[in-house]
Structure 1
Amino acid sequence: MDKRAPWVITLLLVTTAYTTQVFGNTSLKIIASFTVIEDLVKRVAGNNISIKTVVPAGEDVHRWELTPPNVLAIEEADIVFFNGHGLEPWMRHVEAMAHDSLTLTALAENADYKPLPILTGQYKGNPNPHMWMDPKGAAAYVEVIAKTLSEHYPEHAAAFNARATGAIEDLTLLDQQLSERLEGIPQTNRLLFTSEAGMSYFARAYDFEEASIWGLNHETLGSAQAMESMSQRLVDNRPQALFYESTVPFIHMDALAREVGVPLKGPLYVDTLSATDGPAYNYPAMLRHNVEQLHEGLGGARAE
């Protein structure tokens, strides 16, 4: 039996005003929690599937609140692909309203990929959810996506698995290209300081020392204690630059950059892709953009 919170009933009543069919005529109805997962799902699903995304490009997946169109889409969906490990606090509302035939698939929690702990903030010690920031983590997501889609739509399994194989090959090549590009940054400059601990897996993959003011964006941002701790770390390490992310105010990193006298660079894209005409229009573009930001800020060789 469905378990629905009162706020869900209210949102469902509001959605009756929407007369446009959410998914069109396709029989395959998929939800992605945010744009990075949408991009990975599309690489496996192909063009014969409708995908709706809860959190649009440019918005913070951590702090999103479900809208009536979100609720209507979820009501009609067969599968919801989300990250898990606490990235999307609003998923508890999706779980409350989920009908019996809706499959909820947490990619990070089911991926064959070693998690890292969050090292700071109120979620310290919990698994860091940002596994997709390493292409190997994204490849592990692709495997889960292909398995889930094949189980639900076995008549398309061969196509799903073929596209997944191609996507993983592309991600392997991307990983190699990023590694080669990052070789231009001197080892002594590989200090990656950001607002949120969203670059931990990237740092592990490409041999950076990483630190952040807070652990996840949905905790208190830039508390006095967190700022003081980061300030002391900056004094001790003197990085070449600090970096801010596209979904958080840059005021915290700007204040620290001014305090220690280093440049502020960004934005880095972590929790969202950009608009289609922006620099992070898909997953590979997002990582390539971030790598160029690191080159500019940390003294790497210029792009040819």
Structure 2
Amino acid sequence: MHQQVKWVSTLLLAILSSVSPLAGASTFRVVASFPVLEDLVKRVAGDDISVSTVVPPGADVHNWELTPPNVLAIEEADILFYNGFGLEPWLRHVKAMSDDSLLLKSVAENADFTPQPILTGRYKGTPDPHMWLDPEGAAAYVEVIADTLAEHYPDQAEGFHARAQQTYQALQLLDQAIKERLDGVPNINRTLVTSEAGLGYFARAYDLEYAAIWGVNHETQGSAQAMAQMSTRLANERPPALFYESTVACIHMDAQAREHGIKLAGPLYVDTLSPADGPAYNYPAMLRHNAELIHEALGGARPD
């Protein structure tokens, strides 16, 4: 406990000595834990709410360490939306330093969306936190976000709910477009294999068989036992391609691809978005990019 207090105090001292107060910023400030959630919050919040993210695009939300600018943003925020179900191990530091003026809200743990278990690794059987990779899960997040913002900022509640309704409709169209695209993958090729077991909800939503080497990125990655188990499975099943993710090194999956003579494809975006000029610059772009990459790598039908 003393080490934790010392750690928080050091961060606070750094920001107090090096950062000047912000001028001209919105009166209402909300923080999201990672870029995917930030994108969903912005869709509901509108222009009058300042929304930022703790973990920047491209970084791994599981293994992030809070920075002095993170601490400053959290200190000034009214609400911090986080995913929950263990996605953000660093959240314990936020809870240690925050007071009753900051509302901490888990979108996944409060969403009207049934979690499925992590399928492998140290955390096997516990709730899989990656619900947003099914558009229906993202819609459930949006409901939590809208209700929370409306309760906290009641004067703007009508706008929050109106934008949430627009987002629901857009997510339905996105879901349908991805289903139509992935329906073009032949039945014998519908196996998705990734490094982290983060795409379980996506696989379930679009009728793909799913396997992964490890469970979540903050456990031991690519252990000898996990690699051997995956090698045995690939020797028996031989899918058309293996996939790696943007937030993990591709060395483990590359080793499996080389061993079995299987194509390696990626990156898929799971726990983050790309920079603004990348292929996964927002939530819909992320899912479309993943769907297109999977469609092509698994031998999906090409348009005439």
TM over 0.5: yes
Answering whether residue 18 of structure 2 is matched by residue 8 of structure 1, we say no
Instruction: Identify the residue that residue 137 of structure 1 maps to in structure 2.
Output: 137
Partner AA of 1:39 in structure 2: D
TM normalised by structure 2 equals 0.97
What percent of counterpart residues are identical?
66
Unaligned runs of 5+ in 2: none
Q: Against the structure 1 CA distance between its residues 24 and 128, is the aligned structure 2 distance closer, same or farther, given a 3 Å change threshold?
A: farther
Measure the CA separation in 2 of the matches of 1:275 and 1:22. 24
Partner AA of 2:196 in structure 1: E
Q: Against the structure 1 CA distance between its residues 119 and 142, is the aligned structure 2 distance closer, same or farther, given a 3 Å change threshold?
A: same
Instruction: Identify the residue that residue 192 of structure 2 maps to in structure 1.
Output: 192
Instruction: Identify the residue that residue 104 of structure 2 maps to in structure 1.
Output: 104
Answering whether residue 19 of structure 2 is matched by residue 19 of structure 1, we say yes
Partner AA of 1:186 in structure 2: P
Q: How far off its partner does 1:20 sit?
A: 3.9
Unaligned runs of 5+ in 1: none
Measure the CA separation in 2 of the matches of 1:268 and 1:139. 21
Partner AA of 1:125 in structure 2: G
Q: Tell me the alpha carbon deviations over residues 64-88 of structure 1, each in whole angstroms, 9 at most, x when there is no partner.
A: 0000000111111110001000000
Measure the CA separation in 1 of the matches of 2:123 and 2:279. 31
Q: How far off its partner does 1:112 sit?
A: 0.4
TM normalised by structure 1 equals 0.97
SS for the counterpart of 2:18 is coil
Instruction: Identify the residue that residue 120 of structure 2 maps to in structure 1.
Output: 120
CA contact (8 A) 1:75 1:99 kept: no
SS for the counterpart of 2:159 is helix
SS for the counterpart of 2:105 is strand
Partner AA of 1:34 in structure 2: F
Partner AA of 1:227 in structure 2: M
Partner AA of 2:279 in structure 1: P
SS for the counterpart of 1:212 is strand
User: Cα RMSD between the aligned structures?
Assistant: 1.2
Paired residue total: 301
Q: Against the structure 1 CA distance between its residues 17 and 99, is the aligned structure 2 distance closer, same or farther, given a 3 Å change threshold?
A: same
Measure the CA separation in 2 of the matches of 1:123 and 1:207. 24
Measure the CA separation in 1 of the matches of 2:289 and 2:73. 32
CA contact (8 A) 1:295 1:302 kept: no
Q: Tell me the alpha carbon deviations over residues 111-159 of structure 1, each in whole angstroms, 9 at most, x when there is no partner.
A: 0001010111111111000000000000000000000000000000000
Instruction: Identify the residue that residue 302 of structure 1 maps to in structure 2.
Output: 302
Instruction: Identify the residue that residue 47 of structure 1 maps to in structure 2.
Output: 47
Q: Against the structure 1 CA distance between its residues 267 and 136, is the aligned structure 2 distance closer, same or farther, given a 3 Å change threshold?
A: same
The range that moved more, 76-85 or 294-303, is 294-303
Instruction: Identify the residue that residue 261 of structure 1 maps to in structure 2.
Output: 261
CA contact (8 A) 1:62 1:217 kept: yes
Instruction: Identify the residue that residue 247 of structure 2 maps to in structure 1.
Output: 247
Q: How far off its partner does 1:22 sit?
A: 4.8
Which aligned pairs between 1:45-84 and structure 2 lie closer than 5 A?
45-84=45-84
Which aligned pairs between 1:141-160 and structure 2 lie closer than 5 A?
141-160=141-160
Which aligned pairs between 1:139-288 and structure 2 lie closer than 5 A?
139-288=139-288
